[in-house]
Amino acid sequence: MSLDATIAVVGHVEWIDFAVVEQVPAPGEIVHALENFAEPAGGGTVAAVQASHLAGATLFFTAVGDDELGAVCDRQMHEMGFELHAAARTGEAQRRGWTYLDSSGERTITVIGERLGPLGSDPLPWKLLRDCDACFVTAGDPEAIRLARQARVLVATPRAAPELAEAGVEIDVLVGSGEDADEAAGTEALEASAAVVVRTEGGQGGSWRAADGAAGRWAAVPVPGPVVDSYGCGDSFAAALTCALGAGQEMPQAIELAARAGAACLAGRGPYGAQLTLS
């Protein structure tokens, strides 16, 4: 079972090493990981995987480094359930990161290297976006964002605020965390160019407001099991919102699905352990 929509993600991938610990070490302290694993993650990849669980088809436009980690990311993403279109960025190292997952369910992230997003000049099949019902943007240069606007619905994260502002496109839905200082600043900068602004508030749910005055709030959805970790919850929320809007749902109904996706992700280890499906 899936939503009747074709979804695209235009964004970034990061190779992430995860370490499960009782608590994040204090300065100078040594802790022992209870578990460790590594995989392609970052906002774009997490959103593409979540969309592939919900929609009829998902395309991911991205870029990878031309080093060994970039090759590993490319190889593994081909097995993650979406249609991959990745440009190899000559002379650039693959962005990677280190994430602690602690016993309270929190994630603490350190990223290493520059974010690699697709460029509009990359030889990717951009014309496929014309047939997409919705597209979620996490990274890309202004021309790539203009090409993403070919989709019927454009959803974006405020973490791409500088490129979105330069692209000068109308954003149908801007979705970001109201509890993250960088995303809050990006939302403020882009609010005038967005038809709807969605602000998540973690365990408090969140709110949305449209340019035409319509607005609403939602309560957090109960987590379907013990809280494991929060890595990927926000990106899963945004991906589900994109899928629902692409399928023609109205904002309150789309928010309901998105909230379920964010809560589901909390119950699994890492970004993919418990993402929402419609089966």
pTM: 0.96
For 4-36, what is each residue's pLDDT tens digit?
Answer: 999 999 999 999 999 999 999 999 999 999 999
Give the domain ranges of the chain: 3-266
CATH superfamily of 3-266: Ribokinase (3.40.1190.20)
* Cα gap 131→274, rounded to integer Å: 29
Position 1 pLDDT exceeds 90: no
Q: What is the pLDDT of residues 99-154, one digit of tens each?
A: 999 999 999 999 999 999 999 999 999 999 999 999 999 999 999 999 999 999 99
pLDDT digits (tens, 9 = 90+) for 58-79: 999 999 999 999 999 999 999 9
Which residue, chain included where needed, has tokens 């600043």?
185
**What integer pLDDT is reported at residue 217 of this predicted model?**
96
